[in-house]
């Protein structure tokens, strides 16, 4: 096979093209229009919340949720160390400090016991991340939040449709935040959404999203707001994708099942977890190799790339970044696991044959590492 297999690619059908054309032709190309309303209504219903509010991307959705909850300078927000940097950066934008908790070695999501250790008198919120499509263990997190009076913002950017004990992620915390970036489970190109049952939070976020303009007095602004709106064109793409979400998730699960079938019997390898209380949507198929260190991992990635197979390393722990680094600080599990993990091609268009071929290449390459 002489082809490049990407880690992910969006799936665009006639439906997406048709809806986007409709939006463009209607003239409603900016942030008003019926696709926005429809997309928000349907997404809220799907997640099981009363409200959903679209935004320009997942990072602005996180920032908007934080400021709407009153998070500000001097506060602390606990986030998992192993996540995409946007989770921590959104906290930093508010002036608050992201505090990095370690992850659970099995789910790779934030460890509730470590959250407890990182709480101080300044802690105001927790942002659990449902990493790579697997939900974080929400019950103990909600218990801690209740005990200490903290907000919980679920970062669902990688987990549309994932379930915790039968409940969709994004409906468990005070709010959920999703991303519709091009490589996410469904896409709007760039885009995001906040889901919540809290009317006050929804109204506040909606207000701040649109420059904090007074409802009764046009061009009157009592606070510093933002322009964090999604366009109707993006929402048209989003609605088409949303109408296919069950099929897309089904395919994700199928792809994982194929990998499991072909790689499941290699002793040093672990693939994505799925706890008995979880529905994993397998945003990215993950391979964890006990024998990897950073050097071996990078060599493995390079060799696969030479054969046309695109992979990605796991995220580096946020607390390793120059901007967040503190001398002597480590989270032992995060600092161990990130070196051993990579994401395998997980795009919608994969077939069983291609996955089988990728797995053969993986097996051959492992012998040389
Ligand atoms: C993608 C992602 C985001 C940010 O979403 P954007 O739409 O790219 O801004 C936030 N958190 C996590 C965990 C992500 O994977």
* pLDDT tens column, 7-24: 999 999 999 999 999 999
Q: Which atom of ligand 1 is nearest to the CA of 180?
A: 7
Which residue's CA is the nearest one to ligand 1's atom 5?
A: 58
| pLDDT for 369 | 81
CA distances, 256 to each of 172, 231, 289, 326 (Å)? 26, 33, 17, 37
For atom 2 of ligand 1, which residue has the closest CA?
Answer: 157
Q: What is the CA radius of gyration of the chain?
A: 21
Q: Three-class SS of residue 213?
A: strand
The pLDDT value recorded for residue 2 is: 56
**Using CA atoms, how far apart are residues 215 and 200, in angstroms rounded to an integer?**
15
Question: Cα torsion for 324, 328, 331, 337, to the nearest 10°?
Answer: 90
> How close is the Cα of 33 to the center of ligand 1, in Å?
25
**Mean pLDDT over residues 128-142, rounded?**
98
Q: Which residues are catalytic?
A: 184
Question: What's the whole-number mean pLDDT along residues 268-278?
Answer: 97
pLDDT tens figures, 68-120: 999 999 999 999 999 999 999 999 999 999 999 999 999 999 999 999 999 99
Describe the crossing of helices 86-93 and 58-68 by its angle, rounded to 10 degrees.
40
Phi, psi of 129 (to 5 degrees): -115, 130
Q: Give the whole-number percent of the chain exceeding pLDDT 70.
A: 99
Rounded distance, CA 12 to CA 3, Å? 20
Euclidean distance between the first and final Cα of the chain, in Å? Answer: 22
For 296, the 3-state DSSP assignment is: helix
Condensed to tens digits (0 to 9), the pLDDT of residues 137-188 reads 999 999 999 999 999 999 999 999 999 999 999 999 999 999 999 999 999 9
- The rounded percent of the chain whose pLDDT value lies above 90 is 98
Q: What pLDDT is stored for residue 368 in this prediction?
A: 86
pLDDT tens, 288-316? 999 999 999 999 999 999 999 999 999 99
Enumerate the H helices of the chain as residue ranges.
14-26, 34-47, 58-68, 86-93, 112-118, 138-148, 199-209, 232-242, 245-263, 294-306, 332-337, 352-367
CB-based contact 69:153 (threshold 8 Å) = yes
Mean pLDDT of the chain: 97
Cα 174 to Cα 170: distance, rounded to the nearest angstrom:
9
Cβ–ligand 1 contact at 192 (below 6 Å): yes
Separation between Cα atoms, residue 180 and residue 58, nearest integer Å:
7
Q: Which atom of ligand 1 is nearest to the CA of 158?
A: 15
- Report the alpha-carbon angle 197-58-350, nearest 5: 110
Structure tokens at 192: 């995001």
Q: Which of 314, 307, 323, 310 has the alpha carbon at shortest distance from 289?
A: 314
Q: Record the tokens describing residue 131, joined without a space.
A: 């990493």
| Predicted confidence (pLDDT) per residue in 27-81, tens digit | 999 999 999 999 999 999 999 999 999 999 999 999 999 999 999 999 999 999 9
- How far lies 12's CA from each of 7, 188, 189, 208, in Å? 16, 11, 11, 32
Mean pLDDT confidence for 219-248: 97
**Residues whose CB falls within 8 Å of the CB of residue 122, separated by 6 or more in sequence, listed in order:** 74, 75, 76, 97
For the chain, list the domains and their CATH numbers.
Answer: 14-242 (3.40.640.10), 245-366 (3.90.1150.10)
Tracing tokens 């995220």 back to the chain, one arrives at 315
Cα 245 to ligand 1 centre (Å) = 18
What's the gap in Å between 64 CA and the centre of ligand 1?
A: 14
Measured between alpha carbons, how far is 88 from 127 in angstroms, rounded to an integer? Answer: 9
pLDDT band at 1, cuts 50/70/90?
A: low
* Cβ 153 vs Cβ 175: under 8 Å: yes
CB of 94 closer than 6 A to ligand 1? no
Cα of 336 from ligand 1 centre, angstroms: 23
Percent helix, percent strand, percent coil in the chain, to nearest 5:
40, 20, 45
């Amino acid at each position: 096979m002489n082809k490049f297999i990407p880690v992910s690619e969006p799936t665009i059908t006639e439906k997406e093209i048709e809806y986007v054309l409709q939006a463009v032709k209607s003239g409603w190309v900016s942030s008003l229009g019926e696709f926005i309303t429809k997309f928000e209504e349907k997404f809220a219903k799907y997640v099981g919340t009363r409200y959903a509010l679209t935004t320009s991307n997942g990072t602005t959705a996180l920032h908007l949720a934080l400021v709407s909850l009153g998070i500000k300078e001097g506060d602390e927000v606990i986030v998992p160390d192993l996540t995409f940097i946007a989770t921590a950066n959104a906290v930093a934008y508010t002036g608050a400090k992201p505090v990095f908790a370690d992850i659970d070695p099995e789910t790779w999501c934030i460890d509730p016991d470590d959250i407890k250790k990182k709480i101080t008198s300044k802690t105001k919120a927790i942002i659990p991340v449902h990493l790579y499509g697997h939900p974080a263990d929400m019950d103990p997190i909600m218990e801690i939040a209740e005990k200490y009076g903290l907000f919980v913002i679920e970062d669902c950017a990688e987990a549309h449709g994932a379930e915790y004990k039968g409940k969709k992620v994004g409906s468990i915390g005070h709010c959920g935040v999703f991303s519709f970036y091009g490589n996410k489970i469904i896409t709007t190109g760039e885009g995001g959404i906040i889901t919540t049952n809290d009317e006050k939070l929804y109204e506040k976020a909606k207000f701040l999203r649109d420059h904090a303009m007074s409802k009764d007095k046009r061009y009157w602004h009592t606070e510093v707001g933002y322009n964090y709106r999604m366009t109707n064109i993006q929402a048209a793409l989003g609605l088409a994708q949303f109408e296919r979400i069950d099929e897309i998730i089904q395919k994700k699960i199928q792809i994982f099942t194929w990998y499991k079938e072909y790689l499941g019997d290699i002793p040093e390898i672990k693939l994505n977890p799925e706890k008995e209380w979880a529905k994993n949507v397998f945003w990215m198929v993950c391979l964890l190799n006990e024998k990897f260190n950073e050097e071996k991992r990078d060599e493995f990635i390079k060799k696969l790339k030479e054969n046309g197979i695109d992979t990605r390393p796991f995220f580096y722990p946020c607390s390793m970044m120059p901007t967040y680094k503190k001398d002597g600080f480590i989270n032992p599990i995060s600092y161990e696991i990130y070196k051993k993990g990579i994401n395998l091609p997980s795009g919608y268009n994969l077939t069983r044959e291609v996955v089988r071929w990728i797995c053969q290449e993986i097996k051959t390459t492992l012998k040389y590492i």
